[in-house]
């Protein structure tokens, strides 16, 4: 595990690790969308990448705003037992950082995703027409939503209560992946995040954020920012100081275009 003092230091070294040690990988999908030209998304990948930032500060991050704060507001509501899917934060982030994939593409009608690019315009028009009609009888939502899953079984409140009773507990884990996601593989979107493990050690509440997949050039800092917001929430409610941020990623990758001019 690599250990850094702050995020600026970490980001520079992480990018260099990807450029120097990443393996070239070509996939046929991005965010569950079939690619028409896979060369557009040639990637470099590091498996089982882990690092820790000992002095994690929000001001060192550059998440997509105002979307990130709106997204956290909805996730916090979910953590407090008020789920939503799709919510409204997604409308502040109309395109996925230049990948020509809009968030409307991910909205499903009655749990049925759009599978090809051929009907993109038709799909977007249909879901937005239904989304904007409060009387429509169809369910419009994403395959999964963080606020919805954080609310399940009041798991965040239970973790907070467990830490209040025993700060030294090793059981304070918030889960994002569910067993039923196995039925969605290759069919519907599944979470990139697996979960968050909280440990109170050396006078502070540290978080270990586990992900199956993370892309460096587009989503990386958003993921960190939102994980730290959850860490902050749990620490404040458990009346504990916030500590280190650790991150484990099974498939840590970057589109080659995001690694240009590293050296």
CA dihedral 104, 110, 116, 119 (to 10 degrees): -70
Range(s) of the domain holding residue 55: 2-84+145-259
For residue 117, being part of any structural domain is answered with no
Evaluate whether 127 touches 141 at the Cβ level (below 8 Å): no
Closest by CA position to 245, among listed 202, 203, 197: 197
* CA dihedral (242, 47, 252, 151) positive or negative: negative
pLDDT recorded at residue 33: 53
For residue 121, being part of any structural domain is answered with no
User: What is the DSSP annotation of 86-153?
Assistant: S-SGGGG--BSTTSS-BGGGG-EETTB----STTHHHHHHHHHHHHT-TT--S-EE-S--HHHHHTGG
pLDDT recorded at residue 211: 98
For residue 126, being part of any structural domain is answered with no
Q: Who contacts 151 (Cβ-Cβ below 8 Å, separation ≥6)?
A: 78, 79, 80, 81, 82, 83
CA-based R_g, the chain, Å = 19
3-state helix, strand and coil shares in percent for the chain, rounded to the nearest 5: 40, 25, 35
The two three-digit tokens of residue 1, written as one number: 């595990």
Residues 145-160: b if buried by 16+ CB within 10 A, e if exposed = bbbbbbbeeebbeebb
pLDDT recorded at residue 133: 76
Evaluate whether 232 touches 216 at the Cβ level (below 8 Å): no
For residue 138, being part of any structural domain is answered with no
**CATH value at residue 243:** 3.30.572.10
For residue 119, being part of any structural domain is answered with no
Helix (H, G, I), strand (E, B), or coil: what is residue 37? Answer: coil
For residue 110, being part of any structural domain is answered with no
Q: Specify the pTM.
A: 0.89
Residues 161-187: b if buried by 16+ CB within 10 A, e if exposed = ebbeeebeeeebbbbbbeeeeeebeee
**How many folded domains does the chain comprise?**
1
DSSP 54: S
d(CA 136, CA 222): 33
Evaluate whether 224 touches 10 at the Cβ level (below 8 Å): no
pLDDT recorded at residue 29: 60
For residue 222, being part of any structural domain is answered with yes
What are the tens digits of pLDDT across the range 141-167?
899 999 999 999 999 999 999 999 999
pLDDT recorded at residue 136: 73
pLDDT recorded at residue 255: 87
For residue 108, being part of any structural domain is answered with no
pLDDT recorded at residue 120: 65
Which residues in the chain land under pLDDT 50?
Answer: 34, 263
């Amino acid at each position: 595990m690599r250990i850094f003092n702050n995020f600026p230091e970490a980001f520079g070294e992480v990018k260099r690790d990807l450029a120097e040690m990443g393996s070239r990988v070509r996939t046929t999908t991005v965010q569950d969308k079939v690619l028409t030209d896979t060369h557009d998304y040639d990637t470099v990948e590091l498996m089982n990448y882990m690092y820790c930032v000992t002095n994690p500060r929000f001001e060192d991050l550059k998440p997509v705003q105002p979307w990130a704060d709106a997204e956290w507001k909805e996730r916090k509501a979910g953590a407090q037992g008020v789920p939503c899917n799709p919510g409204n934060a997604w409308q502040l982030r109309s395109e996925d950082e230049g990948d020509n994939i809009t968030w409307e593409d991910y909205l499903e009608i009655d749990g049925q995703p759009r599978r090809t690019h051929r009907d993109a315009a038709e799909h977007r028009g249909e879901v937005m027409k239904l989304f904007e009609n409060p009387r429509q009888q169809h369910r419009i939502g994403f395959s999964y939503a963080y606020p919805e899953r954080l609310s399940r079984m009041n798991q965040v409140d239970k973790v907070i209560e467990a830490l209040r009773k025993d700060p030294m507990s090793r059981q304070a884990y918030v889960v994002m992946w569910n067993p039923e996601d196995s039925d969605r593989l290759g069919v519907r979107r599944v979470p990139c995040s697996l979960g968050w493990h909280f440990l109170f050690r050396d006078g502070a509440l540290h978080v270990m954020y586990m992900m199956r997949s993370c892309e460096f050039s587009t989503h990386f800092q958003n993921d960190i920012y939102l994980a730290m917001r959850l860490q902050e929430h749990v620490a404040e409610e458990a009346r504990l100081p916030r500590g280190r941020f650790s991150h484990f990623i099974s498939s840590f990758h970057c589109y080659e275009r995001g690694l240009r001019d590293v050296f």
